[in-house]
Amino acid sequence: MQCVLLDFETRSRTDLTKTGAYKYAADPSTDILCMSAIDSEIGDEWLWYPGTQAFPATLAVAIEHADLVTAVNAEFDKAIWEYIAVPDYGAPEIEHKKWYCLAAQCRVNAIPSGLENAARALGINKRKDPRGKQLIKALSIPNPVTGEFNEDPKLMQEMGEYCLQDSRLARKVMALTRLMSVTEHQDWLITCDINERGAKVDTELARLAVTYADAERGEIADKLSALTGGVITKHTQSVRIRKWLLAECENDPDVIALMTVKKGDVEKQSLDKDVRTALLDARTSDGFLLCQLTADVLELVDQGSKSSVSKFQRMLDMAEDDDRVRGAFVFAGAGQTQRFASRGLQLHNMRRDCWKAEQTEDIKQSMRTKQIIPNVMDTLSKLLRPALIPAPGHKFVVSDWAAIEGRVLPWLTEDPRAEAVLDIFRSGADIYMATAKAMGILERQIGKVATLALGYQGAVGAFQAIAKNYGLILTEAEVLKIVFKWREANPWAVAYWRACEKAAILAMRRPGTEVKIGKCQFMFVEGLMNGTLCGILPDGTVLQYPNARLEYVKGKYGGKWQVSYAKASILPKADATEWPRHTLYGGLIAENFAQGTAGAILKYALRELASVNAPVAFHVHDEIIEEVHIRAVEARSLQLQTIMETPPPWAVGLPLEAKPAVMQRYGK
DNA sequence: TGCGGCGGCGCC
DNA sequence: AAAGGGCGCCGCCGCA
């Protein structure tokens, strides 16, 4: 495998962190300072300053012969290459499928995807060097006072050296982790295509929303200042608000009790949404004192805490001239499950409860004519999804898999007792009602919450967390009974948790051996990243647990063996000597497997859709949104449903259901 | 002033 | 022994 590693250093008047790579690369003020390249096999190095040098002929040959052209976050380098290096500086063209991303390779290895953190996780870069950042600040950003770029030749030369050093480090990281499989690389390329296509934003709506949100935030701030004598000046000042409230109620133990939340092993006082609701609710019951003043303050915080309205500004920052936001998806962004993540304009967490297209038009018209809107922040956050729109003459075709994880989990177990659950899905019956019945309970709501909450060894806490979203209020004793009944009615799940945990331990004891659990496997690979426990999903996707260790932990009544591993998503603190670790337990493994397999089904469908040139605009874990010409809506809907409901070859027998809807704006 | 840490929020 | 976990973004806080 011959591979050329690239790294660009650039400068621009636009802010990369606000606009994202695509808009940044497309901006006319963006230019290349230098580019380093390394041939990963031979080790040949190049440093190119396009302002003063022609493109190195030997590098052109190396690229021509390379199987892959690699960069950390290659979408950035690819965009710079295609938008600037080729047209402005005579760099040779590189075919799309030759591009390869080292950051994506890091993510499939379950280590951080930033070069510095990846190297740190691999133990080859202990110390952070601030010089690189200083150089970027000096050369990549115009002087804030004069607006001029610094062109100091000495600094430019130093920048080049740093650029080359990054490529050398990247080469090491590449060698210490496993390459993406052909399928993973293909999925990454498909992600590039989706990112390049982008999602269209109703920028007029976004601008109106920003105006209204700014005004409302100002009003809330004024009210808070007035109520608290200037102690609290914004609804976002969580520390001030907490201190003020505690002082105001003279450390009333009842109030403190309601404010106390457990985080890990430590108890803390919080004033998050749940606590505020609890405090305001308790106010109406007997004997609880929460004066009008504090209640008013809490309600103002509630009103202001729709932080999601900041997304409208983000839409405007990222939208290009054609009103499209590009680069929102990260292939394997979730290292532990290999699901996608979304960045920049995060399309994965937009408020679900939202206005319909017609309501959106009405509200938009009200804002155009500067009408007063009641409950502004709430109204605005319900406009987030509808702010995503299809191009003129197009519609969204939207489809999501019904209860995908509820189907995948029993299917993965291969337990004959789980067939009954799959048969309920196959029959089209109501799974939540059936679950309740199997537990000897009549309320569908309880069946629903139990199904959503208890599949991964969660107990009272997990149930209550989900129950509150459905307005279900039960005592701890009642929930404990429900948990017990659910486990009794679903013995396949309990057995699976145990089997997963045992398999992980067994795999650690027998390196290089496949240990089967239902449709998945574990294998401990000693030579990879200080020992990596690999969970292999039915499609071949590998979930990695790097730096895995089998440890004997002593308990009160004897001890037990357990597997721990380095957790990529938790970055170590500045003074930490070891990467933060987590412990595997059965329910967690079952969850990782189920989420990962659901993600594999999405990736499979995206490949199928790519092969028929389906216009996928975006996706949200279990949901695919196509932006379709109005004349093709019917055909594409049918095609989308067929692709989503046909299980992949490795999942024959898994019942899938995904009925498409047609929308003028994005909605639930 | 810049930056890491943390609390908070939203979704699947 | 029991265990909800997977994400990313915004904005404040406190330190260097």
Task: State the total domains in chain A.
Answer: 2
Q: Which of A180, A200, A235 is the last residue in one of the domains?
A: A180
Distances, alpha carbon A284 to alpha carbons A45, A280, A290, A530, A668, in Å:
72, 7, 9, 57, 34
A133 touches strand B (CB under 7 A): yes
Using one digit for the tens of pLDDT, what is the confidence trace for A162-183?
999 999 999 999 999 999 999 9
What was the pLDDT predicted at A305?
86
In a domain, A237, yes or no: no
In a domain, A122, yes or no: yes
Say how many residues make up chain A: 668
Nucleotide nearest to A305 (CA to C1'): B9
Q: What's the CA–C1' distance between A416 and B3, in Å?
A: 55
Q: Which of A146, A180, A214 is the last residue in one of the domains?
A: A180
Nucleotide nearest to A275 (CA to C1'): B8
Percent of chain A with pLDDT over 70: 98
Nucleotide nearest to A560 (CA to C1'): C1
In a domain, A102, yes or no: yes
In a domain, A633, yes or no: yes
Q: What's the CA–C1' distance between A141 and B7, in Å?
A: 31
Domain extent at residue A140: 3-180
What is the end-to-end Cα distance of chain A in Å, rounded?
A: 45
In a domain, A404, yes or no: no
For A599, the token pair is: 């993600």
Read off the CATH number of the domain in which A124 is found. Answer: 3.30.420
What was the pLDDT predicted at A478?
94
Query: Would you say residue A264 has pLDDT above 90?
Result: no
Pairing of strands A515-517, A520-525: antiparallel
What was the pLDDT predicted at A463?
93
Which residues are A520's β-sheet partners?
A: A517
In a domain, A640, yes or no: yes
Helix then strand then coil, in percent of chain A rounded to 5, is 50, 15, 35
Q: What's the CA–C1' distance between A207 and B10, in Å?
A: 21
What's the average model confidence in pLDDT over A597-604?
Answer: 97
Q: d(Cα A208, Cα A365) in Å, to the nearest integer?
A: 10
What was the pLDDT predicted at A132?
86
Chain B bases closer than 7 angstroms to a protein Cβ: 3-12
Using one digit for the tens of pLDDT, what is the confidence trace for A282-307?
887 666 667 888 899 999 999 988 76
Using one digit for the tens of pLDDT, what is the confidence trace for A27-38?
999 999 999 999
Q: Which of A159, A180, A201 is the last residue in one of the domains?
A: A180
Q: Global pTM?
A: 0.96
Q: d(Cα A602, Cα A319) in Å, to the nearest integer?
A: 26
